[in-house]
A and B are shown apart, each in its own frame.
Chain A
């Protein structure tokens, strides 16, 4: 079970890496240019990414609403692993659900310190999409 979970996370991290959404080096000085697609296939990155994702998921508690609920939240991690800011970028319009998402990130703090070479990225912000999903699909 545990292994399956980790395998899924790894697969997803790799999917994220391939889709490389924000990393087209579009002007605004995000910095990594084309090299940034490389960040997310670096095992050091993937390991950290997967760890904090699992930590946040485990600290997330919610019951209720409908399976469609989705909240997008932006949070930053400083060099010590402290979550320094959390901001809802897109609300689910269910206050209880939005709050559960913010609590999940805050209560996961402090997270492990980010790998040194990715400090800038993690302090600049992580955009996390929280989806309630179907009750039956969860273990």
Chain B
């Protein structure tokens, strides 16, 4: 670039002698600043997308004699970093030092023990008691630059250790990839739990902390989070007719939201938790309404004689995506919560449903029917050509975005059983199944971060 500038000036001839002299000065200064580099190269794209990381057991400083806390923390951290798909975890069998003998702070251990097994990053830490509370002090070291990349101290009770590991995993992703990870969150889903009835559960992304929200042996559907991961809306037939239920997961309290205007089909909680977008069936048509928390209609968002269902809020709460068959086949539409004009988003495929707007608001994931099964697709919020994300033998449905927007969780049904899967959106890589066993798991919805 600098030589180009010089060249341009030079071509103008002697008139610009002064400018040339000036430019030459600038040029040589620039050269000096760049250390007179004569050799230039350009490298496009890293050779690897996976960081090599070693996760050492935590050192017991009196609070973890049998290393159960360390085992727990390391298990969750390993699982989450593996699920992120940005890390390759070096097997502990290769580790040279004994974590109970060596130090965990910078300068108290030897980086050579870690660079020699090709670790680019290293996690070390300790467990101790601090004023009656459990303390986990954990560090991420950059083995190549031989420095500390991250240091955290978590205080809490024993049952919070997995959560501490998730928060640390999210922080590790932030310093290594520039974007906070999505693991300090939960996923709500509908599952038969091996039985006959569809009940609502929540779980962590790593498959632990499974919590049963409903236990009523009827039908429970469409879990939906706002910004507060402790508040969940769902649709249930437990009173004999469909109604919405808003449950406070921290305290187990629940309110029932009925509609005086027709039969509730489904609902979504707004990000701020103040309103609900609900589909309500009334004399042959189903339309979407904005309700307050008592079920009173604040606004009518669709006005057709057809079916409008499956509302989903954007992260800023301003937009709603939904499915409508107003044009003859189910397609995805967008509208404003203020009741603005409705815009059709999808034109490819003759059966497009279950839209989910990305946290950035730039894309919509949805399911589209291919023959006798569904696949997940992605389309720009502006419309255009969709991208197909799944292409396998399963029927893939109900995409939901991670709070960071890098992943989606969805259900894949094969041979009558259904599991949740995690996908890295940018690459379309199916990272892993998140549930297993004989239950039928569907309708996942990913919460916002637990620690706001």
> What residues of chain A have their CB less than 8 Å away from a CB belonging to chain B?
12, 16, 21-24, 26-30, 32, 36, 39, 49, 53, 56-65, 74, 76, 87, 89, 94-97, 99-100, 102-104, 106-107, 121-122, 124-133, 135, 137-138
Contact of B86 among A23, A63, A103 (CB under 8 A): A63
- 0 or 1 for each of B15-41: is its CB under 8 Å from A? (1 = yes): 000000000100110011111111111
Instruction: List the 4 shortest-distance A-B pairs measured between CB atoms, nearest first.
Output: A64-B177, A96-B178, A127-B37, A58-B47
Cβ contacts B413-438/A at 8 Å (1 or 0 each): 00000000000001100000000000
Cα(A60)–Cα(B49), bound, Å: 8
User: A89 and B42: CB pair below 8 A?
Assistant: no
Give a binary string over B249-262; 1 marks a CB under 8 Å from any A CB, 0 the rest: 00000000000000
Interface string of B34-65 (1 = CB under 8 A from A): 11111111111111111110000000000000
- Interchain CB contact under 8 A, B34 and A125: yes
Interface membership of B145, Cβ < 8 A: yes
The proximity string for B residues 86-117 relative to A, scoring 1 for CB distances below 8 Å and 0 otherwise, is 10000000000000000000000000000100
Contact indicator B34/A36 (Cβ below 8 Å): no
By the criterion of a CB under 8 Å from any partner CB, how many residues of chain B are at the interface? 42
Q: Would you call A124 and B46 a contact (CB within 8 A)?
A: no
Q: Are B39 and A96 in contact (CB under 8 A)?
A: no
Cβ of B38 and Cβ of A104 under 8 Å apart?
no
Q: Which of B39, B50, B144, B178 has the most CB of A within 10 A?
A: B39
Which of A28, A106, A126, A137 contacts B41, CB < 8 Å?
Answer: A126
The reply to whether the CB of B215 lies closer than 8 angstroms to some CB of chain A is: no
Q: Would A61 and B46 count as touching, CB distance under 8 A?
A: yes
A39 to nearest B CB, angstroms?
A: 8
Residue of A nearest to B27 (CB): A26
B24, B35, B176: the one contacting A26 at CB < 8 Å is B24
Q: Which residues of A contact B43 (CB under 8 A)?
A: 53, 56-57, 60, 104, 128-131
Whether B441 is near chain A, meaning CB under 8 Å from some CB there, is no
| B120 interfacial contact with A, CB 8 Å | yes
B36 touches A30 (CB 8 A): yes
**Are A129 and B42 in contact, CB atoms less than 8 angstroms apart?**
yes
A16: chain B residues at CB < 8 Å are 40-41
Q: Is there contact, CB below 8 Å, between B28 and A26?
A: yes
User: CB of B217 within 8 A of chain A?
Assistant: no
Q: Which of B203-245 contact A (CB under 8 A)?
A: none
- B177–A62 touching, CB < 8 Å: yes
Residue from the set B38, B47, B120, B176 with the largest chain A CB neighbour count within 10 Å: B38
29 A/B residue pairs, CB under 8 Å, sorted by A = A23-B38, A27-B24, A28-B31, A30-B31, A49-B39, A56-B43, A57-B45, A61-B50, A61-B51, A62-B46, A63-B50, A63-B177, A64-B176, A65-B178, A74-B35, A95-B175, A95-B178, A96-B174, A96-B176, A99-B149, A102-B145, A103-B120, A103-B142, A104-B43, A106-B145, A125-B36, A126-B39, A127-B34, A129-B40
